[in-house]
Amino acid sequence: MRLAKPTVKHRLYLLTAALAALAPTGQASVRALDPADYASHSVTCEFPVRLTRDCSIWQGATRPIAFGDYRMRLAADSGGRTILVSQLRLGPSHNGQAFRDGGQATSRRTGSMDVIRGIRTALEDRGIHLERLQPIRSGRRVNAYLLEFSTNAYDYLKQFTVLESEYWLPKTRSRIR
């Protein structure tokens, strides 16, 4: 008895059966994230949240924005609800500290929380509410924040984008000898 040569239709059935056998079962492995997951060495564009907008595997958050007196970089998930705020610093002041906060500098921690509060307030005025704030630490130091909002907040924050050259101005003026 001679066997029939398999047709394209038969090959598709065999391929479908093979793929169905490899398909995962209906249960997913879900684990709760602990604070160690938010250490700066473990936060990437893919983990603990997938950040697909303005995120680089080499640099992290890549969109430079200016908000108030501060400069920072942002990245977001595809829906714009989860935002990574990193490289947060006081922006360059061409007049020195004389015209900022009555001439008094604030601590880095106080300043970073001020800008987070400012972002939250500006977005709440537009009906977008901050639902979660997760600091990302390196030891005791906070290097970034992961913010989760009720709806797309990223599209609003993108309007504060600044040019790279303005963002990377030197913090202090070097002397020419």
97 in a structural domain: yes
- Residue 20: band (very low, low, confident or very high) from pLDDT cuts 50, 70, 90: low
Residue 157 domain flag: yes
- Whether 4 is covered by a domain: the verdict is no
Residue 64 lies in a domain: yes
The answer as to whether 42 is a domain residue is yes
When the pLDDT of each residue in the chain is averaged and rounded to a whole number, the result is: 74
For 81-94, what is each residue's pLDDT tens digit? 999 999 888 876 54
Whole-Å CA distances, 113 to 72, 135, 172: 13, 10, 23
Domains held by the chain: number: 1
Q: Is the pTM of the predicted complex or chain greater than 0.75? A: no
Report the C-alpha gap between 111 and 83 in whole angstroms.
19
Residue 16 or 175, more confident? 16
Could you tell me the pLDDT band of residue 97, with boundaries at 50, 70 and 90? very low
Whether 84 maps to a domain, the answer reads yes
User: Is 150:120 a contact under the CB 8 Å cutoff?
Assistant: no
Q: What is the pLDDT of residue 25?
A: 45
Q: Is residue 150 part of a domain?
A: yes
Q: What is the pLDDT of residue 53?
A: 95
Strands (E) located in 82-173? 82-90, 130-138, 141-149
Query: Which range has the worst mean pLDDT, 104-113, 116-125, 155-164?
Result: 104-113
* 30 part of a folded domain: no
Largest Cα separation within the chain, whole Å, is: 98
Average pLDDT over residues 104-116: 65
Tokens of 26: 């209906």
Please give the residue range of the domain that contains residue 145: 35-164
**Highest-scoring range by mean pLDDT, 23-27, 57-61, 146-150:** 146-150
Please say if the pLDDT value at position 101 is more than 70: no
